[in-house]
A and B are shown apart, each in its own frame.
Chain A
Amino acid sequence: MNPEKVVFGFFIVLALTLNFGFFVGDIDNPDHHHGWELFAVIVVNLIATVLKFGDRSQMGAVLLATSLVAILQLIAAALVWTIAVHATEAGMTPSTMASIVSLAGGAMIANVVSVVLLIIETVMLRR
């Protein structure tokens, strides 16, 4: 067992599960989507991205690309949240919440691809 692979797999799967946790619920209901969850998703995704640095294989390159996509989407979501709460008069509205959650949903697709790739790589290794 390679401990590096355990940490790697852990963070990639955790990124997906946390992302899913933030995503579920009514899309425009702020009560269903908590800020802490988004924060955790962003931190875990950042760690997962950094862990993918420096992999020479084709698989490594695609994994890094999916993580970068997820990070981009999540940071956009965090920015929308921050601007809505701190820089607009209206504050958090259902429509703002909907766009934050849809951005996080996009990031979740990227995380799903990441996990699928990880599984494919593992299966290929077993053969």
Chain B
Amino acid sequence: MNHIIFLVFRRMRTPLLALIVAYTIAIVGFVLIPGRDATGAPAPMSFFHAFYFVGYMSTTIGFGEIPYPFTDAQRLWTSLCIFLTVSVWLYSAGTLIALLQEKTFQRALAEQRFARQVRGLCEPFYLVCGYGETGGTLVRALTERDRRAVTIDIKPERIALLQLENLREFVPALAADARSPARLLDAGLNHPCCAGIAALTDVNATNLKIAITAKLLNPRVPVICRADSVAVEANMASFGTDHIYDPFGTFALYLATAIQAPQRTRLFEWLTGDARRTPPTSRPPPASGRWILCGYGRFGKALHRHLTAQGLELVFIEARPERTGRPEGTRLIVGPGTEAPTLEEAGIAEAVGLIAGTDDDANNLSIIMTARELNDTLFVVARENQSDNHGLFCAVDADIIMHPSAIIAERIQLLLATPLLADFRRQARRQDEDWARELVERINALVLKETLAVWELTVGLDEAHAVQTALDAGTEIRLATLGCDPHDRAAPLPMIPLLHVRGGERRLLPPGDLPLGRGDQLLFCGLPIARARMGLTLQNPHALRYVLTGRSHYEGRVWRWLGPRLARRLGAAERARPTSTQDAEATRDHR
């Protein structure tokens, strides 16, 4: 138990003792003082009556004098006792209520409640430290996929915000400092169901401390970290943090890929995109010509790192180069990008692209509006720092809006919710543009205007009971079998197998004749209906047998008894009228 609760109990001693002593004095007095009944005979007060009278006198309820009207001696004692008991009662009640309302006590109670809720979790959950924009997006995405999450944030108002949020799963949340190992343990760091820890606070040092704590106390659990600087990233990597995300590096790489390989970017966006998985329509960024980059801070440096190798002509604009340093081998114009003269000096008229990447949203918007006036064919990339301003960035009509928090959240969500898709992404990066274009066309033909679903499958009793049972019985099942509609096996399901993982071996776009085995992991994309139909084949032995053999069998006692008899009848009818039906054939076969 928490020490604060003991402290509160200890502090309750004085008010309670005062109450007991005051009551005792008052009761003893009333029992000792002789009373008289209506006839004037002596009638001493009993303990019961004295307690009753003191009880309502001290709480100022005042029912009157019982059991008989008081004598003057009793009234004298009463007038003394009123001051004693009423004041002690007010003092005690006030102190007790104040103690119960004390912040530290309330916090101790909240911590205990939180620890109890986390202990009670019995499905895998993710511990998200920092419920800011990134953490909030991640928690929402996880709960939308029926994953559980636990969250800690140092700001109570953010936790209050979580309680207002309409999440699909209950998310235990605590306002506490995630740097404290005790709080992380309360939040389930050592819980057997803890599936991962995401350190997403906006302070690098805190993320570092969380990563170290997690790696030391529970090395089994994967740790995902946000790091905004190269030094912190290297520090985190040094003790084995599993995944480190730098929002600026991630976006710069994304932009470099988008310029170099638009088809592949389109494919990834389609498979992973948050935009309800409809094909992205924006134009690809121009792959040659002059790009003007405003701001040479963390974001500008990451862009410089990734874009210099692309064969683009880069021009940086930075208002205070003495603070940020100068890019090597690239032109730098000193001045605010918000003003036309600076942009003109950078050659805005001949430029093909503009990246407004300062850490101030008002400046970024101003840069874009000024630049558009000077050159309206520009491809514009905008950095959005605060999601409050999202409406403004949509209105200014930038081609790509870069939001650091959203990028991190999307990547982590991908990693946690569909790890195979992250795998697929890594594998597909090695493929060329033609491969990507072909796959995009295939997916396009498959889904037409409908939404695309992406799902994973692990062959085993949990997710594929029927298939695993059949495999155990020695039946060979190929990948193409899963692609058959269990309602009509001649029709293929509208889906594409994207990735097959067995052991450490990964195979992109696995062929249909691939035999399945226990523990195989598969990634599919296709229409939602394909996912549902495939689920039937995977779990239902009858559906699987139909898909494998094209025949339905009788199952269950009644049908096993009735089936052959029915089949004989049908068979007789068939001999008379020789038009074979598939069902009749199947029953004959069974017999």
Residues of A within 8 A of B (CB): 35-36, 39, 43, 46-47, 50-51, 53-56, 78, 82, 85-86
| Cβ contact within 8 Å between A56 and B6 | yes
8 Å CB contact of A82 from B7, B12, B13, B48 = B48
| Cβ contact within 8 Å between B20 and A43 | yes
8 Å CB contact of B6 from A35, A36, A54, A86 = A54
How many Å lie between the Cα of A82 and that of B55 in the bound state?
16
Which secondary structure dominates where chain B touches chain A?
A: helix
8 Å CB contact of B12 from A39, A53, A86 = A53
Verify if B210 is at the interface (C-beta below 8 Å from A). no
Q: Given contact pairs A36-B31, A39-B31, enumerate 12 new A-B contacts (beta carbons under 8 Å).
A: A35-B47, A39-B28, A47-B17, A47-B21, A53-B9, A53-B12, A54-B6, A54-B11, A54-B13, A55-B6, A56-B3, A82-B48
**21 intermolecular pairs with C-beta atoms under 8 Å apart:** A35-B46, A35-B47, A39-B27, A39-B31, A43-B24, A46-B20, A51-B13, A53-B10, A53-B13, A53-B16, A54-B9, A54-B11, A54-B12, A54-B13, A55-B6, A55-B10, A56-B1, A78-B47, A82-B46, A85-B48, A86-B46
Closest CB in chain B relative to A36 CB, distance in Å: 8
Q: Which residues of B contact A47 (CB under 8 A)?
A: 17, 20-21
Please name the residue on chain A nearest to B25 by beta carbon: A43
Q: Which residues of B contact A36 (CB under 8 A)?
A: 31
Closest CB in chain A relative to B477 CB, distance in Å: 61
| Cβ contact within 8 Å between A50 and B17 | yes
8 Å CB contact of A50 from B1, B3, B16, B48 = B16
Mask, B1-37, CB within 8 Å of A = 1, is: 1010011111111001100110010011001000000
How many Å lie between the Cα of A50 and that of B96 in the bound state?
13
Please name the residue on chain B nearest to A86 by beta carbon: B48
| Cβ contact within 8 Å between A54 and B47 | no
Sort A-B residue pairs by CB-CB distance and give the 9 closest, nearest first: A54-B10, A54-B9, A53-B9, A82-B48, A50-B16, A43-B24, A54-B6, A46-B20, A56-B6
Q: Which residues of A contact B7 (CB under 8 A)?
A: 54
Q: Which residues of B contact A78 (CB under 8 A)?
A: 47
**Known contacts being A39-B27, A43-B20, is A85 close to B10, with CB within 8 Å?**
no
Q: Which residues of B contact A55 (CB under 8 A)?
A: 6, 10
Q: Which residues of B contact A43 (CB under 8 A)?
A: 20, 24
How many Å lie between the Cα of A78 and that of B51 in the bound state?
12
Please name the residue on chain B nearest to A56 by beta carbon: B6
Closest CB in chain B relative to A34 CB, distance in Å: 11
How many Å lie between the Cα of A46 and that of B16 in the bound state?
9
| Cβ contact within 8 Å between A50 and B27 | no
Please name the residue on chain A nearest to B49 by beta carbon: A86
Mask, B296-322, CB within 8 Å of A = 1, is: 000000000000000000000000000
Q: Which residues of A contact B9 (CB under 8 A)?
A: 53-54
Closest CB in chain A relative to B159 CB, distance in Å: 29
Closest CB in chain A relative to B88 CB, distance in Å: 14
How many Å lie between the Cα of A3 and that of B501 in the bound state?
73
Please name the residue on chain B nearest to A82 by beta carbon: B48
Closest CB in chain B relative to A24 CB, distance in Å: 21
Closest CB in chain A relative to B15 CB, distance in Å: 9
Q: Which residues of A contact B21 (CB under 8 A)?
A: 47
| Cβ contact within 8 Å between B47 and A50 | no
How many Å lie between the Cα of A46 and that of B18 in the bound state?
11
**Known contacts being A56-B6, A82-B48, A86-B46, is A50 close to B20, with CB within 8 Å?**
yes
Mask, B527-546, CB within 8 Å of A = 1, is: 00000000000000000000
**Interface residues in B450-477 (C-beta closer than 8 Å to A):** none
How many Å lie between the Cα of A35 and that of B27 in the bound state?
13
Q: Which residues of A contact B48 (CB under 8 A)?
A: 82, 85-86
Q: Which residues of B contact A85 (CB under 8 A)?
A: 46, 48
Closest CB in chain B relative to A109 CB, distance in Å: 23
Closest CB in chain B relative to A3 CB, distance in Å: 14
Please name the residue on chain A nearest to B14 by beta carbon: A50
Instruction: With a 10 A CB-CB cut-off, give which of A50, A56, A78, A82 has the most chain B CB atoms.
Output: A50
Closest CB in chain A relative to B22 CB, distance in Å: 11
Please name the residue on chain A nearest to B32 by beta carbon: A36
